[in-house]
């Protein structure tokens, strides 16, 4: 089965029911046509929303597919999507898939030159973009001649594009008859780019349907669930977690904004049952509660059953704090890569909260090994590279056979993450292979130090990197972001680290903000660039 067939099934079975809700708290005054929530005494500020039914969702996808085919798009061509999260995003995505073309979601933080780089790398034929990107697309408009069709979503279409709404208005709502199989190419996703230029990751249709099955197996979505989607839809994580709503035919909410009170209002007013958070957002919610800026009794949260986190290591202290305020929540963490299509080639499982700190066991349909440099399994408890294989494995890096051969070996994906397995079979992430610090011949894993520092009550976020040292090769530097309204000094941090083994204690303490990308991963290359070579600037010894 294809995921496009799941959409058609939902339209046939639940056509008049709402499939997606879009909420935009910041746009309350900009679009008077959006229907307000009924005001409730505990939440006097209205949130604005748009909705779409399953039938309209499928109809819009079919109209877009038929438009593309009428303009000469062929099976195997590439269509890029550059949109903020919005109600149009997923119908456009599914419309591309229904043509047999390849959908190419783009990071909305890309600069104009980065957009051009990705369009060229993926050999894009059609670009769909929104009003937030007019200036960036105009800047490169004359330098992307291969992108012959440029479609605009929104009002006041620029002269160098065509208005998508006008073009699709007269298109048929009947599904096009295109022969597509699970082995056909479906989507190109770009790596997060935290290690340099992003790579174009090509997935087949079978990857997409496998992610639906994996997500529902892990989190048991039913028709009664309602998923709050906050992360960007261009990334595999957000969309593949939403696939659990697709396969169960349940509602989902797209929230445009990550302020803690907006998140809880959306959960309360939309009766959300499942929320996927990134670590910084969960921390912000807890910090706001502890500062007294939000009172949980002001929100209806009893139906919220599951909070899960992915995309980066999760500090144990964060989950301990979370359970203090939300003791009834199920909790799960998911490990995955864009190369392994999202929602959890490894996952903890809601029944294993006693193992918080581990990333879990092999996900539904996946196999996992911890391997040495030769690809052979290491003994239980030893650190090695995490390798995975399963139905959601990428086909290749598009047009990059050398990079593909370096990461795909005999059906296994070499993740570049260092891990170990305990006596119960649970996998613990140690660090990225490239982030390991070698100090005087000793391997130091930054995640272990970061987890320790996260327990300090004044620390909001932390990143540990290696800085070059003439004598020992590298030394550890801890970049620390302090919570608002907290005071912390270098001396306090050094005293706190006394309980660490001497070789793990940070040699440099730097107070600064921690940069994270839209999927929550720490952008350590930016920190290395800023502080590399021992030329540390703007260092504060007090905060």
Please choose, from the candidates 427, 443, 447, the residue with its C-alpha nearest in 3D space to the C-alpha of residue 369.
427
Query: What is the structure's pLDDT at 345?
Result: 92
Query: What is the structure's pLDDT at 538?
Result: 35
Taken in order 96, 239, 269, 258, the sign of the CA dihedral is: negative
- Per-residue pLDDT 10s for the chain (543 aa) are 899 999 999 999 999 999 999 998 876 535 444 344 443 444 444 458 899 999 999 999 999 999 999 999 999 999 999 999 999 999 999 999 999 999 999 989 888 998 999 999 999 999 999 999 999 999 999 999 999 999 999 999 999 999 999 999 999 999 999 999 999 999 999 986 544 578 999 999 999 999 999 999 999 999 999 999 998 999 888 889 999 999 999 999 999 999 999 999 999 999 999 999 988 789 889 999 999 999 999 999 999 999 998 766 677 888 999 999 999 999 999 888 889 987 789 999 999 988 988 889 999 999 999 999 888 999 999 989 999 999 999 999 999 999 999 999 999 999 988 899 999 999 998 766 677 787 765 678 788 888 889 889 899 999 998 888 766 668 899 999 999 888 899 999 999 999 887 878 999 999 999 988 766 678 887 888 888 744 443 333 332
Whether the Cβ atoms of residue 55 and residue 16 lie closer than 8 Å to each other = yes
Distance, CA of 84 to CA of 187 (rounded, Å): 18
Coil, helix or strand at residue 110: coil
Distance, CA of 313 to CA of 170 (rounded, Å): 48
Coil, helix or strand at residue 341: coil
Q: Which residues on adjacent β-strands are paired with residue 516?
A: 522
Please choose, from the candidates 262, 263, 264, 274, the residue with its C-alpha nearest in 3D space to the C-alpha of residue 227.
274
| Phi and psi angles of residue 198, each rounded to the nearest 5 degrees, phi first | -70, 150
Whether the Cβ atoms of residue 87 and residue 20 lie closer than 8 Å to each other = yes
Whether the Cβ atoms of residue 291 and residue 259 lie closer than 8 Å to each other = no
| Pairing status of strand 412-421 against strand 384-389 | antiparallel
Mind listing the domains of the chain with CATH numbers? 442-534 (3.30.300.30)
| Phi and psi angles of residue 446, each rounded to the nearest 5 degrees, phi first | -55, -35
Query: What is the structure's pLDDT at 336?
Result: 86
Query: What is the structure's pLDDT at 440?
Result: 62
Tokens of 298: 């002001």
Buried b (16+ CB within 10 A) or exposed e, 525-539: bebbebbeeeeeeee
Query: What is the structure's pLDDT at 75?
Result: 96
Specify the pTM: 0.83
Distance, CA of 467 to CA of 536 (rounded, Å): 10
Query: What is the structure's pLDDT at 541?
Result: 30
DSSP 251-302: EEEEES---HHHHHHHHHHHT--EEEE-HHHHHHHHHHHHTTS--GGGS--T
Tokens of 433: 């292979």
């Amino acid at each position: 089965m294809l995921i496009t067939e799941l959409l058609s099934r939902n339209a046939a079975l639940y056509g008049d029911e709402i499939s997606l809700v879009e909420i935009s708290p910041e746009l309350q005054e900009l679009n008077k046509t959006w229907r307000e929530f009924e005001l409730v005494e505990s939440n006097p500020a209205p949130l604005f929303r748009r909705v779409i039914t399953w039938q309209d969702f499928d109809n819009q996808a079919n109209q877009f597919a038929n438009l593309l085919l009428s303009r000469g798009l062929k099976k195997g061509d590439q269509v890029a999507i550059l949109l903020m999260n919005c109600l149009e995003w997923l119908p456009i995505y599914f419309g591309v898939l229904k043509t047999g073309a390849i959908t190419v979601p783009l990071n909305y933080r890309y600069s104009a030159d980065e957009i051009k780089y990705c369009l060229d790398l993926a050999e894009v034929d059609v670009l769909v973009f929104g009003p937030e990107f007019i200036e960036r697309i105009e800047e490169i408009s004359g330098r992307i001649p291969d992108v012959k069709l440029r479609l605009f979503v929104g009002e006041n279409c620029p002269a160098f594009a065509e208005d998508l709404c006008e073009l699709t208005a007269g298109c048929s709502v009947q599904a096009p008859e295109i022969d597509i199989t699970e082995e056909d190419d479906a989507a190109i996703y770009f790596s997060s780019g935290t290690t340099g230029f992003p790579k174009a990751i090509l997935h087949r249709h079978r990857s997409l349907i496998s992610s639906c099955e994996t997500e529902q197996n892990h989190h048991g979505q039913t028709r009664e669930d309602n998923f709050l989607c906050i992360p960007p839809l261009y990334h595999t994580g957000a969309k593949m977690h939403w696939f659990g709503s697709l396969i169960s035919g349940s509602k989902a909410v797209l929230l445009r904004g990550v302020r803690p009170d907006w998140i809880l209002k959306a959960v309360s007013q939309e009766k959300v049952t499942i929320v996927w958070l990134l670590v910084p957002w969960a921390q912000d919610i807890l910090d706001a509660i502890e500062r007294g800026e939000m009172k949980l009794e002001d929100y209806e949260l009893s139906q919220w059953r599951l909070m899960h986190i992915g995309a980066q290591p999760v500090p144990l202290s964060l989950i301990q704090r979370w359970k203090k305020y939300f003791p009834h929540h199920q909790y799960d963490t998911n490990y995955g890569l864009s190369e392994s299509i999202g929602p959890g080639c490894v996952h903890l499982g809601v029944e294993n909260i006693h193992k918080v700190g581990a990333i879990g066991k092999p996900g539904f349909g996946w196999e996992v090994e911890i391997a040495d440099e030769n690809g052979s399994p290491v003994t239980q408890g030893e650190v090695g590279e995490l390798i995975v294989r399963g139905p959601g494995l990428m086909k290749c890096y598009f047009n990059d056979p050398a990079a593909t051969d370096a990461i795909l070996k005999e059906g296994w994906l070499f993740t570049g993450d260092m891990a170990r397995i305990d006596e119960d079979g649970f996998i613990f992430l140690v660090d990225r292979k490239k982030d390991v610090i070698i100090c005087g011949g000793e391997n130091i894993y930054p995640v272990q130090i970061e987890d320790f520092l996260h327990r300090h009550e004044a620390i909001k976020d932390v990143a540990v990197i290696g800085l070059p040292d003439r004598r020992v090769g590298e030394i550890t530097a801890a970049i620390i972001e302090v919570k608002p309204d907290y005071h912390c000094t270098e001396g306090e941090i050094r005293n706190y680290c006394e309980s660490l083994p001497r070789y793990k204690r940070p040699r440099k303490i730097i107070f600064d903000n921690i940069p994270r990308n839209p999927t929550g991963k720490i952008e350590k290359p930016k920190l290395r660039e800023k502080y590399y070579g021992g030329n540390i600037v703007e260092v504060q010894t007090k905060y």
